[in-house]
Each structure stands twice: as structure tokens, then as C-alpha cells.
Structure 1
């Protein structure tokens, strides 16, 4: 039995590449958040400020989520060539984003519990100690948001598809999809920045006007904002994890391409499955029934090659007598 070289007929299943900048940015932000968390907890313990202690422990949940995002990038990179992952490891990053969004909901729930407790049983607030640390916390969060924003732009500028097909740009080209793992890390930082702003407003109001109730009220406002952001992220990541993408524009474009390139009545599209395998990459499995005995999978793939987001195509052709 002869052994043949099939390498030219095979292609890699790494559909999302160049996550290095996003991974580095997430790691940097994680370490900055951990450092700030330690400062806040230490300052809270030293000054006997429950507000600072609570914010420090609150930051620990964000540090955990950021660590999860960084771990997801590392895992996706490490197992990129593992053949057990049929369509690559990109969904490890999406799963991390989904889990991180759930952590955001938990943070919001803890903020609600803490705020209601403060409204029910007010405690003295050490404004002189709490305000400077809250301001430093806000500046740190803005720095972290800038790092992640910059990493996201670098990531999108250099992102590409690692597969063996050539593609051509086409009109109405879809914009880059956001890195959902990076977006989850960014949301944690933004949520922390928003709570810092609300905390500063509350602390200033309490110090100048004696409105101690403003601190827990702002905590409730912050919790509502966080839940709204988390809900959108859960929906976006959940759709990808459940392969709920058949309403995407590319699905209609595939149908149009088949209709335009093959005679109607002679070739019909009978089955179509489209799902995302990378930030800007889709896999397609389709079945055709045809009277045209010259129709080949290669002709179908050529007709679809104009759509650069299609990274993997499987074609089934059924001849109709």
C-alpha cells in the first residue's frame, strides 16, 4: 500500500491569531489591580475604614476575573494545535468572557447587599482617608482601561485567519468582531472606574453636606450599571457558545452567492449550517441537490471565496435523477 503526502490538502484549525497584545495587556492590568487591591486593603486596615476595606475586597473579584481572562489566552495559545479541538481553541476565550460576565453579576449582587446593609445600619465613614484612596483607585482604573483599549486596537490591526484559503475583499465587508475575552476584562475595569466615580461623589457629598445616605445609594446605582453591562456580555458570549449565529448577515450572503452562481431550479440549497470559529471567522457546512452532473465542491467553494469571513467550508452535493 502506497503512502501519499496529504499535507497540501490539509489546513490548520487556528482561526484567530495574534492575541499576544491582548494577553500582555490583560496580564499587566491584572498585576496593577492586584497591587491596588493590596494598597486599599492595607490602608483600610490601618485607618479602620470599612469603605476602603470593602472596595479593596471588591477589587479582588475583578483581579480574579482578569486572571481568568489572561489564563484563557494562555490556554488557547497552548492548545492551539491540539487536534481534540475540532475547530480550534478560540471558544476558550469566549467561555472566559462568559464566566467573567457572571462574576460581574456576583459583584453587583454583593454591592446591593452591602449598600442595603449600609442604609439599614449606617456606619461612620472616615472621609479624610477614604477620598484620596478612591481618587487614586479611579486613576489606576483609567490607566488600566487605556492599556486594554490600546491592546484591543493593536489586536484588531494585526488579527488574521490562519488557514489555507485565499480571500478577496468585497463590498459590505463586515467589521471586526470584538474580542469578547478582552471586552470582559475591559468591562471589569470600567465597572471599577464607575464605582470609583460614584464613591468619590458620595464621599464628597457626605463630607460637605453630611449626606451619609449618598454612599449606599451610589452603591445601588453602580450595581444597576454593572448588571446592564454584564447582561449584554452574557448575551454576546452565550450566542457564540451556543452557535446561535444563523441570523448573521453572512448566512444570507451565502444563500445569495449560491443562487447567483448556479441556475435556479437546477441547483437548490437544502441544508446550511454556519457557526463562528474565530473573532472574524465562520465555518460553513452546506448541502445542495442538483441536476448538474458537472457541479463540484471546488466550484461551490470558489463561489463562496469572495466572503473573507468564511474560513472553513464543507460541501455535500446530492445528484437528482
Structure 2
């Protein structure tokens, strides 16, 4: 058997080039968040503020989740050429986003439990000191949000599309969620200091937990959809069908028997399509040429089956 060069019929499986700016940004934010986490936990315990303590423990989950995001970027890049990943390594990033969302739910539950305990058994709070630390935490959150926001803008400029980096979004959501709980903590502590409403501190802890849980569930839905390949409602699916059913030569001769579309990158899709036709001239190459106008379709497999009864 002769050895032939198959290069014209093969291609790489690196469909998404990653986001190096986000990788650098998440590493920086992880270090900043870890330092602030230690400060808030110590201050919350020392000044007896449940809202501040909850915010500190909440930030500990952020440090872990943002570190996980940075690790996912590295792993996706490290194993990009590993042939064991049939459709690339992009979903490593999506998986990290899913785990981050689960961590957010766990922290929300812990915030509720801790806040209820403080409602049932109130304790003295050192309001002035706690407010100062909470404001410092908020400032740190703003800096971290700016770092990750710049990484998102850089990624969008590089790729010229509106696809979402779900790993970066999960890291960004952790920072925003922590900023929100910091704001609630400050409001609660000011209410306690100025109005004597000590119950406002644990109450705001519960409000913050509900808000975090809502955001986490939204991220779980979005990342879960990608991980489970639930993409058949995407507009590109109808566009693929339109290419076949709208082609003048195929309208009466060809039908779609099976179609699978799933995402292999932020806005890149893989397609397997099975056609049944009585057109003797139809070939898979012809179908691929018609689908080539959709640049988001980066991996297309076409099967043509002959049947005279259509």
C-alpha cells in the first residue's frame, strides 16, 4: 500500500485559541482576593460582624474559584495539541465555570446559615472598624473587576465576535458578587451604627446570599448547556437547514435525515449532517462548499445516502 500525503484532507482541532489576557488577569485577581480574604475574615471575627465575616468567607470561595479559572486557562492551553481531546480543550474552561457556580451556591448556603444564627443569638458588633474593612474590601473588588473587564475587552478585540468566555464570566461574577455583598455589609453596618438596627447586619447577609444564589444558578444553566451540548436551538442550526432546503437543485431531491450541532469554542461549532437524496450528482464536498459561508462551522462531517423513493 502506497503512502500518500493526507494533508489536504486533514486539519487541526484547536478551535479556540484561548484568552491569554484573561489568564493573566485571573492570576492577578486571585492573589489580590486571597490577601483581602484573610483580612476580612480576621476583621469580621475580631469586630464581631456577621456581614463582614460572611463577606470574608465568601471571598475565600472567590479566591478558590478564580484560581480554578486561571488553572483552566493554563490546562486548556497545555493540552491543546493532545489528540485525546477529540474536539479541543475549550470545554475545560467551561467546566471550571460550572464548578465556580457550584461553589457560589455553597457559599450562599453558608451565608444563610451564619446569618440565621446571628439573628437568633445577636452579639455585639464593632461598627466603625467593620465599616472601614468592608469599604477596603469594596475598593479591592472594584480594582479586580476592572482587571477582568479589561481582559474581556482585549479578548473581544482579538476575536471580533460577541461570544462569551464563560470561564472569564465566572471569575468576573465572583468579583461582582463579592462587591455586592460588600455594599450590603456597609449598608447594614451603617444602619446598625446610626440607627441601632443590629438585626440589619445578619439580614443583609441573607439578602446577599439570595442574590449570589440567583447569579450562580444563571451561570450553572449557561455552562451546563454547553457541557451537555444542548445547542440545537441556536440560530446556526436553522441556517444549516436553510442551506439544504433552500438550494434550488436540492429542494425536491434531498432531505435531512439527521443533524447534530454542538459548540467547540466560544462561537465555533461542529456539525454532523446526514442527507438522503435521489440526486446522483450530490456529494459531501458540494454540501461542505455550501456550508463554508458560515465561518462559525469549523468542523463539518457530511454523509450522503442514496434513495430513489424520496
Report the CA distance shift for 1:199/1:53 in structure 2 as closer, same or farther (over 3 A).
closer
Aligned counterpart in structure 2 of residue 186 of structure 1, from 143, 152, 172: 172
SS in 1 for 2:246: helix
**CA drift at 1:50:** 4.8
Contact (CA 8 Å) 1:285, 1:313: kept in 2 or not?
Answer: yes
Q: Does 1:153 align with 2:153?
A: yes
SS in 1 for 2:140: helix
**CA drift at 1:151:** 0.4
Q: Does 1:210 align with 2:196?
A: yes
- What RMSD in Å do the two structures reach over aligned CA positions? 1.5
Name stretches of at least 5 consecutive residues in structure 2 with no aligned partner.
none
Q: Which structure exhibits the higher relative contact order, with contacts defined as CA atoms closer than 8 Å and separated by 6 or more residues? A: 1
Partner of 1:167: none
Give the alignment's TM-score, normalised by structure 2: 0.95
Contact (CA 8 Å) 1:17, 1:159: kept in 2 or not?
Answer: no
Partner of 1:170: none
SS in 2 for 1:178: coil
* 1:159-179 superposed Cα distances (whole Å, 9 cap, x missing partner): 38xxxxxxxxxxxxxx62211
Partner of 2:274: 287
Give the alignment's TM-score, normalised by structure 1: 0.92
4+ runs of 1 displaced by more than 6 Å? none
Aligned counterpart in structure 2 of residue 221 of structure 1, from 184, 202, 207: 207
Alignment of 1:1-321 (within 5 A): 1-44=1-44, 47-51=46-50, 52-159=52-159, 176-261=162-247, 262-321=249-308
CA–CA distance in 2 between the matches of 1:264 and 1:128?
Answer: 75
CA–CA distance in 2 between the matches of 1:196 and 1:40?
Answer: 10
CA–CA distance in 2 between the matches of 1:314 and 1:267?
Answer: 17
* 1:264-312 superposed Cα distances (whole Å, 9 cap, x missing partner): 2211111100011110001000011111111111110111111121111
- Number of residue pairs aligned between Structure 1 and Structure 2: 306
Name stretches of at least 5 consecutive residues in structure 1 with no aligned partner.
161-174
* 1:65-103 superposed Cα distances (whole Å, 9 cap, x missing partner): 111111111111111111111000111111111111010
**CA drift at 1:55:** 3.2
CA–CA distance in 1 between the matches of 2:296 and 2:266?
Answer: 9
CA–CA distance in 2 between the matches of 1:48 and 1:263?
Answer: 75
Contact (CA 8 Å) 2:97, 2:170: kept in 1 or not?
Answer: yes
**CA drift at 1:5:** 1.7
**CA drift at 1:2:** 2.0
Contact (CA 8 Å) 1:245, 1:274: kept in 2 or not?
Answer: yes
